Amino acid sequence: MPDKELSSMEHLKARSHYLRGNLAEDMADPLTGGVTEDSAQLLKFHGMYLQDDRDLRPERTKKKLEKAFGFMIRIRLPGGVITPQQWLALDEVARSYAGETLRLTTRQTFQMHGVLKFNVKTVLKRINQVALDTIAACGDDTRGVMAVSNPHQSRIHAVVYDIARRTSLHFKPKTHAYYEIFLDGEKVAGEGERDDVETIYGKTYMPRKFKIGFAVPPSNDIDVFAQDLGFIAIVGKKNAIEGWNVTVGGGMGMTHGEPETYPRIGDVLGFCRPNDLFAVAEAVCTIQRDWGDRSNRKHARLKYTLDDHGVDVFRAEIAKRAGGPLEKARAFKFTSNGDRYGWTEGENGKHHLTLFVENGRLRDFPDGRRLLTGMRRVAEAHDGEIRITPNQNLIIANIAPENRETIERLVADHRMAENATALRRNSMACVALPTCGLALAESERYLPNLVTKIEERLAAYGLADENITLRMTGCPNGCARPYIAEIGLVGKGPDRYNLYLGAAFDGSRMNKLYREDLDGEAIVAALDPVFAAYAKERQKGERFGDFTVRAGFVAKTVNGLDFHKDVGAKRTA
Amino acid sequence: MAGHPTIPKTAPFGDEEIALLNRVVGPATATQRAWLAGFLAGLESAAGGAAQTAAPARPAEPITVLYASESGNCERLANDFAKAARKNALKPTLIDMADLDLATLPAIKRLVVIAATWGEGDPPARAVRAFNELMSDRAPRLEGVEFGVLALGDTAYVEFCAIGKKLDERLGKLGARRVADRVDCDLDFAEPAGKWIAETVKTFAPADAANSKVIEVDFTKPAAPPNLDIVEAEITEHLNLNSSRSDKETIHLALSFDGAAPAYEPGDSLDVYAENDPAYVDELLKLAGLSADDKLRNDLIKSRDVTTLSLKTIETYAAQTGHQYVKALIADGQAKEWIAGRQLIDLIATFPIALTADHLRAVTRPLAPRAYSIASSRREVGDEAHLLVSAVRYETHRRARKGVASNFIAERLKKGGRVRVKLRPNRHFALPAPDRDIIMVGPGTGVAPFRAFVQERRATGATGRSWLFFGDRQFTHDFLYQLDWQEALKDGALTRMDVAFSRDTPEKVYVQHKMWEQRRGLIEWLDGGATFYVCGDAKSMAKDVRATLVHVYADVKGIAPETAEQAVAALERDKRYLTDTY
């Protein structure tokens, strides 16, 4: 580690007494809906962001009002699996305290936005009653662990989900701060003064967020290459998991105008046996804990640690810490990072329904689509489970055959499965404005109309039914993983986006910057000739992302370090 | 505010007189004191020592003027009565009903009662205790007392002048002799009240009053009153404090004056002379078939109350127009029910008939000004006055309704425009000595005078602690003056603040719930001598707050509810529980 000054965040963590800081006091201050800057940072470790309604900012001071603060609350939900009973609790708090809407995230969990500070404890206590919490849902720790949502392989899914759940527990911070501050739990005397509370993390936790995910080919729905640490299941002949390919160093975030920051696709470092999985995971985690850059938060993710030290050094260190080297990686094949919609039947004879949820937004829309109410009715009638996919969609899973008709009727009655076009179904947007403090441009509120316009162009070339991935984010931090979308749009300013093309449909290759600073109209205009060429020149079965590289519209991105190289439109018509 | 001069206990006056003198000399300005000194000296020299040798003036006959005042009107009339009485060989004693000891009543020979009716037929808040005592079985017999009652009320309310009527009847039942018939006054009380006072004073005056030479110095009147004329102010700020996501609209209005602002004190109000909504008047005129009459239109907009619908309005309408259905409505006894939630426009729309301008003038009363608590201290804002006005809008009988004054302010006053206002002092809602603690309960626009209190205490460096309870609908969108309060807590002008927002949680939370949560602290402060203020909605909030305080006493002190009630009543008697409700 270079001997550089630690970032202020590191000092804050160190003096926070295991994430307590002044949070309890700040949460109780009745005059402000916010908390201090330090407390806002610590909140993240407890699964919450302090946000404010940016639409309202211009008028607030004039009206003698502070910012319109609201808390974003993210649930820790490994594998995105939730019981109907848990769903009903979330529905209840969303209706009462979170603007009557729930948001499905790109990491298979729920977010509630705009929760008043004074209602946060009520919400957390309520969800605690159904065994849900928000611990480490954000912050410098092991975030929500992802797992394949694919409903076809019900047996494998059950195994992988169980591993994801145990991984989440294994890496869950041990501090009792969350229980003390938010659940009125008993104070653990002296815990803040001890040195041995966090057996994995230590007092300063991780240098930066740390994401883990489990994929099962052929589905790469979790975008395993975007995870800091990914596991790709190698399924043997008897439909049993023989072991895992280990990927390290994925991550989406970057900063505009700072080429030393870049998104990166994880490297497959090798293969491990099921029994070694936790040892490997802990090895990678602790290497990053010890080697990660704690002076510069823009250079603190595992992907930079890996590039700084090199893959070979990193692999050797894993061998040292995990008690043995990784084996040679096994062959695997992904076909897509998207979801398959509609009804399927699992191996266990149960039925599954995958529902498209545009940008993950569950609410009762003014046009009569009642997704929130509909899902509550489903949860009331359903005896299986509900899964959130990494593409912000829902799977009503393990429906007994005799219940299928009921679910079908509820879905129809509440207009929950309106036929969406191919592009829309393959699109994702982050939340962005008005709640996200990082957003430079609109995203969730902007994408639906843009999709409509892009689809008009696709239809003009007979491409309306093509599955093309389109992802938009309001800033370059990459929550909707835009750099592994065939069409990526990243906000730079109000109605200004960078357009990226050329990623692989299965999420194994990133895209490349094609055009900069486009408004909505210019985006459509820039895509139109590419669609025209795709319709005319594509080879049989050729994906749009692959085509744009082969046909010379953009250079191919091989890895993170060349993401910013050779950018720009190589061809425009 | 610091260092009121006080008349020493050793002064050659009785306790009551010392108290009176303190009330005058205490808050007097240097100019006022200098004037008083000069006046008394002048009086002495005018008498030229001869006063001592001349035949002593015959003693004036005592008369007691009892008033039950909410907005201050009855109190002013009581003062008018006292002034007139002095000129007629009477020696008036003014008693606020809040201070009335019932045991003293039978000894009074002459009793004048001037009483307001508030809300839905209630006595003014300060008078509740004495009123209830008088109505109870414990009231003493009053044979030998001569009395007369002047009642103030508002025909817009069904129980018009109910309190005056009840007092008049009760005094008679207790054996007192009515020597002046009661007069019931509406909002335009000045003329009928003045007439009643002139006549009643004559009735009570000794036969040879005209020849007597009684010298009376009016000590009971506050020294050199501030300018109570109508003045024009310029609007320098016109801001909706609610967020654009709120369903409320509360206007912060900053007024500046040509020259000095009226000499208001924290707790005082400003009367705002509003005009009617031209659109409403146009609709009314159209229904009446009088759209062409511009003079009438102007008159109605500027100076007539064109919204209030009272029994009196209906009766006048029936008499003026001879409308058969309206007559039938009255005859059937249904009028009272029918007017609920309705306005004049409903009457004309429902029972149309050919109307003249005179008809319309006859069924409307003069447009009264609307009082708003001042939300600033001159010691902080200089020659400005701030008002906090909530736009009243609702729907009844499928018609959108708008409060006249509040919407005049919210919708038609603009920054740079002008408005006519008049100071309305309220010395019953003033700050205590600077070293005393204060507890303020002011949800919604009820917080206005407390902004004045906090500004005043900051400007004067008051050492007493200040605790504010505020409430509204939504924390994020309706927290009136939030940044001001945060600042005041930081700089110490405010010691504590508790807030209650009713629409942020499934269960509605109000200020009284916060009081309950903080009950130990409340009792600690009150036991330490704190003054408790309540401002805002009279219909439910003020009642809930008082009831809660009784519970708080009972719970924290472990005493019976009746004893707790007495504790709060004692606070009221000691003028440490003060209300300004509407």
pLDDT tens, N- to C-terminus, chain A (573 residues) = 456 899 999 999 999 999 999 999 999 999 999 999 999 999 999 999 999 999 999 999 999 999 999 999 999 999 999 999 999 999 999 999 999 999 999 999 999 999 999 999 999 999 999 999 999 999 999 988 999 997 777 889 999 999 999 999 999 999 999 999 999 998 888 888 898 899 999 999 999 999 999 999 999 999 999 999 999 999 998 889 999 999 999 999 999 999 999 999 999 999 999 999 999 999 999 999 999 999 999 999 999 999 999 999 999 999 999 999 999 999 999 999 999 999 999 888 899 999 999 999 999 999 999 999 999 999 999 999 999 999 999 999 999 999 999 999 999 999 999 878 999 999 999 999 999 999 999 999 999 999 999 999 999 999 999 999 999 999 999 999 999 999 999 999 999 999 999 999 999 999 999 999 999 999 999 999 999 999 999 999 999 999 999 999 999 999 999 999 999 999 998
Residue with tokens 């909504």: B277
Judge whether A198 lies within some domain. Answer: no
Say if CB A289 and CB A198 are below 8 A apart.
no
From A314, A337, A360, give the residue that closes a domain. Answer: A337
From A143, A160, A195, give the residue that closes a domain. Answer: A143
Confidence class for position B58, pLDDT limits 50, 70, 90: low
3-state secondary structure of B286: helix
Judge whether A568 lies within some domain. Answer: no
Together in a domain, A162 and A303 = yes
3-state secondary structure of B282: helix
- pLDDT tens, position by position, B150-189: 999 988 887 889 999 999 999 999 999 999 999 999 888 9
Together in a domain, A169 and A307 = yes
Together in a domain, A364 and A479 = no
From A365, A397, A418, give the residue that closes a domain. Answer: A418
Judge whether A163 lies within some domain. Answer: yes
Q: Which residues contact A402 (CB under 8 A, 6 or more apart)?
A: none
Together in a domain, A356 and A324 = no
3-state secondary structure of B458: helix
pLDDT at residue B543, rounded to an integer? 96
- Residues 223-262 of chain B with CB under 8 A from chain A are 239-245, 252
- The tokens for B394 are 């609702």
Q: B475 CB near a chain A CB, below 8 Å?
A: yes
B350, amino acid identity: T
pLDDT at residue B11, rounded to an integer? 63
Residue A112 CA to residue A99 CA, distance in Å, equals 8
Together in a domain, A396 and A264 = no
Q: Measured between beta carbons, which residues in chain A are less than 8 angstroms from residue B477? A: 68
Q: A58 CB near a chain B CB, below 8 Å?
A: no
pLDDT at residue A462, rounded to an integer? 97
Judge whether A434 lies within some domain. Answer: yes
pLDDT at residue B36, rounded to an integer? 65
Number of domain units in chain A: 4
What is the overall mean pLDDT for chain B?
A: 89
Q: Which residues contact A380 (CB under 8 A, 6 or more apart)?
A: A84, A88
- Report percent pLDDT > 70 for chain B: 87
pLDDT at residue A486, rounded to an integer? 98
Q: Measured between beta carbons, which residues in chain B are less than 8 angstroms from residue A59? A: 243-244
- Domain span including residue A439: 425-562
Of the listed ranges A170-179, A288-297, B52-61, B137-146, the least confidently predicted one is B52-61
Closest by CA to A361, choosing from A94, A109, A104, is A104
Mean pLDDT across B223-228: 67
Residue with tokens 């309060």: B485
Together in a domain, A390 and A275 = no
Residue B260 CA to residue A496 CA, distance in Å, equals 54
* Domain containing residue A481: CATH number: 3.30.413.10
Integer angstrom CA distances of residue A209 from A110, A140, A232: 18, 4, 21
Name the more confident of B536 and B24: B536
Together in a domain, A254 and A285 = yes
Residue A513 CA to residue B196 CA, distance in Å, equals 90
Residue with tokens 């061809």: A571
- The tokens for B82 are 């006292």
CB contact under 8 A, B481 and A64: yes
The 3-class secondary structure across A286-336, one letter per residue, is HHHHHHCCCCCHHHCCHHHHHHHHCHHHHHHHHHHHHCCCCECCCCCCCCE
Give strand pairing partners of B184. B151
pLDDT at residue B45, rounded to an integer? 53
pLDDT at residue B35, rounded to an integer? 58
The dihedral sign for the CA sequence B485, B490, B493, B496: positive
Based on its alpha-carbon atoms, the radius of gyration of chain B, rounded to whole angstroms, reads: 25
- Residues 90-119 of chain A with CB under 8 A from chain B are 96-97, 116, 118-119
Mean pLDDT across B393-398: 96
Judge whether A435 lies within some domain. Answer: yes
The whole-angstrom distance between A137's CA and the closest CA on chain B is: 25
Mutate to test the interface with B, among A36, A56, A65 (most CBs of B within 10 A): A65
- pLDDT tens, position by position, B62-89: 999 999 988 888 988 998 899 888 888 8
Together in a domain, A446 and A348 = no
Burial B296-327 (b: 16+ CB within 10 A, else e): bbebbbeebbbbbbbbebbebbbebbebeebb
CB contact under 8 A, B243 and A65: yes
Degrees, nearest 5: CA angle A107-A109-A111: 110
Together in a domain, A285 and A376 = no
- The tokens for A124 are 């957390």
Confidence class for position B56, pLDDT limits 50, 70, 90: very low
Burial B331-361 (b: 16+ CB within 10 A, else e): eeeebeebbeebbbbbbbbebebebebebbe
pLDDT at residue B126, rounded to an integer? 84
- The tokens for A246 are 């280990």
Confidence class for position B8, pLDDT limits 50, 70, 90: low
* CB neighbour class for B507 (10 Å; exposed up to 12, middle 13-18, buried from 19): exposed
Judge whether A181 lies within some domain. Answer: no
Confidence class for position B209, pLDDT limits 50, 70, 90: low
Could you say which of A30, A64, A96 has the minimum Cβ distance to residue B241? Answer: A64
- Residues 482-511 of chain B with CB under 8 A from chain A are 482-486, 489, 497-499, 504-506
3-state secondary structure of B343: coil
* pTM (two decimals): 0.85
Confidence class for position B2, pLDDT limits 50, 70, 90: very low
- pLDDT tens, position by position, B429-470: 999 999 999 999 999 999 999 999 999 999 999 999 999 999
The whole-angstrom distance between B252's CA and the closest CA on chain A is: 9
Strand segments, DSSP code E, in B97-175 are 110-116, 146-152
- pLDDT tens, position by position, B542-556: 999 999 999 999 999
Q: Measured between beta carbons, which residues in chain A are less than 8 angstroms from residue B244? A: 56, 59
* Domain containing residue A18: CATH number: 3.90.480.20
Together in a domain, A269 and A302 = yes
- Reply yes or no: is the peptide bond before residue B106 cis, omega within 30 of 0: no
Could you say which of B245, B475, B499 has the minimum Cβ distance to residue A56? Answer: B245
Could you say which of B476, B499, B506 has the minimum Cβ distance to residue A30? Answer: B499
Cβ-based contacts under 8 A for chains A and B: 61
Confidence class for position B6, pLDDT limits 50, 70, 90: low
Give strand pairing partners of A82. A386
Q: List, in sequence order, the alpha helices (H) in B396-481.
A: 404-407, 448-460, 475-478
The whole-angstrom distance between A63's CA and the closest CA on chain B is: 5
Say if CB A168 and CB A80 are below 8 A apart.
no
CB contact under 8 A, A33 and B475: yes
Say if CB B113 and CB B82 are below 8 A apart.
no
Together in a domain, A479 and A330 = no
Judge whether A320 lies within some domain. Answer: yes
pLDDT at residue B98, rounded to an integer? 86
Together in a domain, A398 and A511 = no
Residue A550 CA to residue A541 CA, distance in Å, equals 13
CB contact under 8 A, B504 and A119: yes
- Residues 119-148 of chain A with CB under 8 A from chain B are 119, 122
ipTM over 0.85: yes
Judge whether A447 lies within some domain. Answer: yes
Report, as residue numbers or ranges, the catalytic residues of A: 74, 143, 209, 211, 430, 436, 475, 479
pLDDT at residue A346, rounded to an integer? 83
